[in-house]
A and B are shown apart, each in its own frame.
Chain A
Amino acid sequence: MPSASNPGPVITETIVVAPSAPVRPSWSKWVRITLLVVGAALVLAFPTIAPNPYILSAGVVILNYAVLSTGWNFMGGFTGYISLGHAAYFGLGAYGTALLIRNFALPSFLAWFVAALLVAIIAIPVGIAALRVRGASFVIVSIAFVLILLLVFQSWRDVTGGSEGLTVPRPFPDLLRPEHHRVFYYLFAALLAVALAVWWIIDRSKFGTALKSIREDEDKSQSLGVPTTQYKLIAYVLSAVFVSFGGGLYALWFGDLDPIFQFSILIGSYMVLMALLGGVRNLFGPLLGAVVVGSALEYFKLEFGDTQFHLIATGILLGVVVLFMPDGIIPAVKALFTRSSNQASIREVTAGELLEENRARSAETVPPRRPDASGEETP
């Protein structure tokens, strides 16, 4: 880190001083490992704990949400481009799987893979168009893409079955319903594990760092030689593929597709809400958000049935998260356990916070330097 060798920051208009490296207590690592093991054990043991098949099916739905939201986070979390239209890839994955099985008699899980491949091919031109412009237009295209697919899948009756929906042949026709839920619960858990692993690998890679630099300041990132357009496109397609896997598995599990549900903007907004609520910068943020929001949604459906109450609740929750907790639960909880607010390393500080910090620094005549801030590289 530059602050280690320099005698002291020169007082100019703007000084960029790397904040001191986070001092992680030694127990922190063990807490993480314990939490991970306990969490994984809870997820794997859920089918045996679940009192009845209904609760188990709710568990499958929540895991599905977790897969979708983690998939969304490849784009939203790394690059900061918020897509409200990822339901498009959920629907395409589901319908693609169903149509490939029905029309080409592919084996269920082969169809699932081929559908994801096709989605990747579709996502490339859409991504190129959407990423030509920043921010606002990207969101507009993402929403428009869902709306157009909804129109197409509702109107193109001959192929998609239109509003009557489409039944998907079951991959395991001789399984009883509770067993069916249990098998798909583990399939979804495995898919989630793969998505989390890939996210974790990218998070620690150079590619991931480049994506995060796009999130913080796209112009600077470009000027440092990051091929921003290509990287954004890769992240977008990767994200679409994982969401499509989630959709395809949903089709195989649920067995009945309806365009209004598959291509609903609401599904896309759930992905955003879950990821934001948990924390888009954290590996397990979307999963945590999916557990919270997914359980709440299942509860609302059970209690209030067909009323529009879940819409109001979703809207209010989204508004509260955006206004008061845009970084999510995980950073908020972490902040409870860490004393100083100045402990984050540079890559976990947003450009805005850094700017404010630097302003505060340049306002002081001599920036106080702590002796222990020797600038050790974070492990």
Chain B
Amino acid sequence: MSASLLLQAVILGVLLGGLYALLAAGLTLYFGIMRVVMIAHAAFLVLAAYLAWWINREMGIDPLLSLVVTVPLFFVIGVLIQRLLVSRLKPLTLTMMSVLLTFAVALVIEGGLGFLFTGTQRRIPLSYASDSLNLFGAQVPVVKLIAFGLAALSLALLFLLLKYTRFGQALRATIQHPEAARLVGINTDRVAGYGFGLGLATAAIGGTALSLDATIYPSLHWHWIGPLMAIIVVGGLGSIPGAAIAALVLGVAQSLLQLPMGPTWAQTVFYIALFLTLMFRPQGFFGGRLAKRF
């Protein structure tokens, strides 16, 4: 296999890893805030992709513009999910029951999409879909670059928001020690709700980025939730930098393995990494103790 093919695989892997990193950051937020494993994250991702496709079909505008609608909408939905559903669960069984609850949400979304748009595979027709840039002899599709740019920009914004704003400090305090956060006057319920909103907003951005160059169908989310959950476990549950590193490493590994093994078998790399992590380092590679990073 030629060097340019290898280079291309690495670049595509990094681009894919960027998208994984953004989505994994959302999952990490939910887990950090309330120890919730949000199975419905990928379902919302597919929902956002469908909204981009639908807006494009009905109004003929660029799918990227749908972000103006989907990001605020998903933020509100995230707040509502936290306030109306997750916060009603008993604290003792929260993690297990939240899995089931968000699983139920995922089923409703998948069923709803199938009901409204049927199971037909959809794709947004884009004028620049087949354009590609030549980077050091590797052909990189423009849509993948846009998706990566979107993901990287959102991750950077999320990082700045969490690190330097008052709200970010309050959120990190809530993650580290909810009771202490309440003692210093943080309204942890409200902050947790907004944190969920932020997490779901990453799904809106990721879904729009995904809709640019992927064929979408209602049950697509199962192909995303597995790798995403593997990433957050390998990275160490609750650590956003850990999730980002794991996302990039595994994204590149998947992309490289696609060359000899084909796309289907290459996906198993996530599950093998998950299995090995749990066997040898169950707390994850980059996270260590939960939520110490942010």
Contacts and interface: CB of A to CB of B under 8 A. Distances in A.
B106 A132 contact: no
Interface stretch (A99-107, A108-116, A315-323): A315-323
A315 B225 CA distance: 17
Interface string B251-287: 0000000000000110110110011001100110000
Interface residues of B, number: 52
A316 B270 CA distance: 30
A136 B37 CA distance: 6
Contacts of A312: 107-108, 111-112, 115
Contact of B108 (A80, A81, A316): A316
B54 interface: no
Interface string A134-145: 011101110111
Contact of B92 (A155, A322, A352): A352
A315 B39 CA distance: 13
A222 interface: no
Contacts of A269: 103, 107
B90 interface: yes
**Most chain A CB within a 10 A radius of its CB, from B31, B104, B232, B283:** B104
A322 B89 contact: yes
B137 interface: no
B26 to A, nearest CB: 15
Nearest to B262: A155
Contacts of B278: 129-130, 132-133, 137, 141
A336 B271 CA distance: 46
A139 B264 contact: no
Contacts of B91: 352
Contact of B222 (A147, A152, A315, A352): A147
The binding surface of chain A is classed by DSSP as: helix
Contacts of A323: 85, 88-89, 101
Contacts of B237: 136-137
B33 interface: no
B79 interface: no
A147 B226 contact: yes
Contacts of A313: 111
16 contacts: A128-B279, A133-B282, A135-B35, A139-B99, A144-B230, A144-B270, A144-B271, A147-B223, A151-B265, A269-B103, A272-B100, A315-B104, A315-B106, A319-B85, A319-B104, A326-B97
Interface of A: 80-82, 84, 128-130, 132-133, 135-137, 139-141, 143-145, 147-148, 151-152, 154-155, 265-266, 269, 272, 276, 307-316, 318-319, 322-323, 326, 350-352
Given A84-B100, A311-B110, 19 more contacts: A133-B282, A133-B283, A140-B229, A140-B230, A141-B275, A147-B222, A147-B223, A151-B265, A265-B222, A266-B107, A269-B107, A307-B115, A308-B110, A318-B101, A318-B103, A319-B85, A322-B89, A322-B100, A322-B101
Interface of B: 31, 35, 37, 39, 85, 88-93, 95-97, 99-101, 103-108, 110-115, 119, 218, 222-223, 225-226, 229-230, 232-233, 237, 264-265, 267-268, 270-271, 274-275, 278-279, 282-283
